[in-house]
Every structure is written in C-alpha cells, then in structure tokens.
Amino acid sequence: MTDGWGYRRPDDDDWTATQQTPPAVAPPASFWWSDALNDPWRDPHSPVALVPPAERVSAPVPEPLAEPDPTRRRTLWTVAGVAVLAGVLAGVLGGAMGVRFSDDRAVAPSVLGQAAATPQRAPDSLAAVARMVLPSVVTIRVPVEGSVSLGSGFVASAEGHIITNDHVVSGGSGVASVIFDDGTSSPAKVIGADPESDVAVLQVQRKDVRPALLGDSDAVVVGDPVVAVGSPLALRGTVTAGIVSALDRPIATNTDDGGNRYYAAIQTDAAVNHGNSGGPLVDAAGQVVGINAVIKSMGGSEESAGNIGLAFAIPINHARRVADEIISDGRAHRTVIGAEVEEAFRGPAGGVRLGEVVAAGPAAEAGLRQGDVVTSFGGRPLSEPTDLIALVRKTAPGEVVQVAYKRGPTSHNASVTLVADAD
C-alpha cells in the first residue's frame, strides 16, 4: 500500500504485542523497486509488520484574510473620492480651455496673426458711394432684329422714369426689359428719345423704385473722383472708379439713320466698356453727374473696342433738360445759334468760321455775320466746327453766352441769347 499504515508480517509469539504497540522500525533504505532484496513480497517468510506512515511535510497553509481596519477603510474611500473629484475638475477645466482655444483659433489663427477689426467706411468712400447708387442702376435689354441690345440706365424719378442712351434703345420696337440690382425685372416702355443728344427715357410700372440723386455737372472740375456703374459685357452691377480727365470734350458720332450726335462730354479714365452705355457717372457724393456714352479705343472695329482709359459721358445738366422735354413734350428741343459752320475751314490760329447766318436769328441779333471766325464760346477756345456745335447743344435755350470772334484782323465780343429750334 502506498498510504495509511505500512503492513509487516509479525512472529506468532509477538502478535499480541505488535497489535497493541507498533514496533519502531526504521523505514527501508530505499524503495522496493530499487532494492529487490528487501522487498517483503519477494520472500513470503520474511517478517512483516504494520507501521505508521512517515510524517509528511504539509504545504504551508495561507494566512486567512483579515478584515481591514475600519479607519483604513474610511481613508481609502476618502482618497478614492478625492481622486474622482480631481479627475472631474480636470476634465471640466480641460474642456473649457479646449473650447476657448478652439474659438480663438477659429477667430484669429495664431500662425497668421490677429484678425483686424471690421473697417468703418467713411460716407464719401467708394464703397459707400457704390452702396448708395447700385439700387438705382438697371440693366436694359431691348429686342433688336432677332438679337438683343444690351445697355445700362438709372432710375430718375419716383414714377419709374429711367434715363439711358438713345443708341441703347434705337432699332427696337419701343419695349424693353429692365433688370434691377436685386435681380428682379420689369417690362419697360420707351417714352421718347433724342438721337442727336443720345438721350432716351423709359418707364416701368412699379412703385418700389429708388431714384438716383442728380448732381450739377457744371460744378465738376478736372481731377474730381468719379465712379461709373453699369453692366459692361452683361456683368450686372459693375463698379469702376477714376477721375475727371477733361471737361467739354466735343463728341460727334453717327446715328443709325445717318445723322450726327453732338455733345460736350465729361472725359474720365474710369473703366467703361460695351454695356456701360446709359449707366450713370457719379461723383464722390453719389450724385449723377453724367451718362456714360462713348469710349475711344485702339480696336479695329466697334465690336473689338475695349477700355483704354478714354471714356466720355453726357453731362447730366444736358441730359436732364433733354429728358424733361421728352417726358413733358414727347420730344427734345435743340438749342441753336442761328448760323451754319464751314466744315472745311481750318485757320492757322484755330477758330470756327461761320457760313450762312439766319436772319433775325441769335447770331444775327448779336451782330455776327457770314465769314466771321468765332474763337471762343462761353470762354472756351474753339478749334473744330464740332466744338461750337457741341457747346451750343449743351447750353439751354434762353441762356446768354459771351462769344469772341474775328472779322478780318479785328477782334470783337458779343452776347448771344440762344434759342430752341423751331422744329
């Protein structure tokens, strides 16, 4: 057996004794499988006896877990609570700092520097002028022989009157489409036009129009800042800026019916292109001082013409007078001096030579005669026949103008009262 008492066979006489007290015998020197001579089962006559097993070395018993000290337990809970509270506070603080820093990065990235404050623009700034004028500026589309004529214009009255160029609406059927700065559109009717001054008036039937402020073109001087507004190349609401380059620049162009247009223009270097025609030229106060009408270009044809800083506008005093006559009378009245000019004359000292002088006309009443050479009109020197015609057309009927002229070698002055033509 491998457990319990060790069994040995006793002598017959000692049976009782061995039953009461087991003999103290030494354990075998070695196991039976390694010492065959001492194997009790090999020799049946060998004495055997039951002996108690050798004392075994037990494995160490672990100490029982003791209940923690109540004071220590409270200390542990206190430490744990403080740790949790500290974690919560750290999370809240970290989140707040993260939001703040993320907001700061969104407003002003530290890498690119701080964001500037919103600029406060002066009332006479270009931005303020544009904001004032744009709601009054319109784009005009006129059906013309299977195509569309495109131009600009501006609202001139609370009744919906719109001023533009005659060459924008000429060739049409008298109806047009007007597109406002907010994108809304309305049909418009052509009230009337004056081909010679290149001014036309349309009208829309709506009450929410915003008329532009009309200024005084006679108060404009060279060097004044000006802004041109319109739809060049169909780009609605385009604003360009420049200065007044010259005043009373004589302009003569051809009309569609073979006639001529004359006006003493305001010259500007503000960028003006096809589609700006009829749009306003405004001063630093946002008041209209002219109507953009003509550009000079190096292009070989009118279609290829583009801005080179030479643009011309009809003075608003001239255009307003013509528009008022169109609205009230249905037509404009030309201002005349009562004399014709010789187109071929070019004097060495300039001047415009008069041809036929109408009897009882303004020139004749002032003492001018055929052959006289007019050298200045209203203080402005003359060098071309177009100069005199344009300046006369610009002046309102009834005004008195000082004229300087030569008759042979003698110089003279005269006061001429201009009148409207009889037609």
**On the CB side of 395, how many CA atoms lie within 13 Å of its CA?**
24
List the one residue out of 318, 344, 343, 342 whose CA is nearest residue 332.
318
Cα–Cα distance for residue pair 296/312, rounded to 1 Å: 8
Q: Give the active site residues.
A: 167, 198, 277
Cα–Cα distance for residue pair 361/49, rounded to 1 Å: 174
Measured between alpha carbons, how far apart are the two ends of the chain, in Å?
154
Q: 387: helix, coil or strand? A: helix
Cα–Cα distance for residue pair 33/75, rounded to 1 Å: 62
Cα–Cα distance for residue pair 288/6, rounded to 1 Å: 133
Residue pair 256/298 in contact (Cβ under 8 Å)? The answer is no
* Contacts (Cβ under 8 Å, ≥6 apart) of 312: 249, 251, 265, 266, 267, 268, 292, 293, 294, 295, 296
**On the CB side of 242, how many CA atoms lie within 13 Å of its CA?**
22
Cα–Cα distance for residue pair 337/368, rounded to 1 Å: 10
Q: Show the beta-strand stretches assigned E in 198-275.
A: 199-204, 225-230, 238-254, 260-268
Q: What is the DSSP letter of 396?
A: P
Cα–Cα distance for residue pair 401/379, rounded to 1 Å: 9
